Amino acid sequence: QVQFVESGGGLVQPGGSLRLSCAASGFTFSNDGMSWYRQAPGKEREVVATITSGDSTYYAGSVKGRFTISRDNTKNTLFLQMDSLKPEDTAVYYCNQSPRRSAAWGQGTQVTVSS
């Protein structure tokens, strides 16, 4: 079945960096677009960044220029490089197919930006 395992979150000071990873399985990773999502307390889950099967990338306005999405099809792994982090980036981050093809979600990885 489709599975996602996110990792790499943590506590970081404003202006700092983190690199998130997502190990995907249960589908042909290289054939699908992939997205990073995040959900902050009391808010709906939102798309942060998307990468297509052809490696085109798209970003939410709030993270453009600070975050970079990439993928390694040989390892079925998705990455999110997050630089110049702000307190408003605090959230649980998830990865998923784009467009989504199942109800599966991983456990997410917590990112907390605070001094």
Phi, psi of 87 (to 5 degrees): -55, -35
CA angle 77/82/106 to nearest 5° reads 45
List the one residue out of 21, 19, 16, 17 whose CA is nearest residue 6. Answer: 21
Q: What is the pLDDT of residues 32-91, one digit of tens each?
A: 999 999 999 999 999 999 999 999 999 999 999 999 999 999 999 999 999 999 999 999
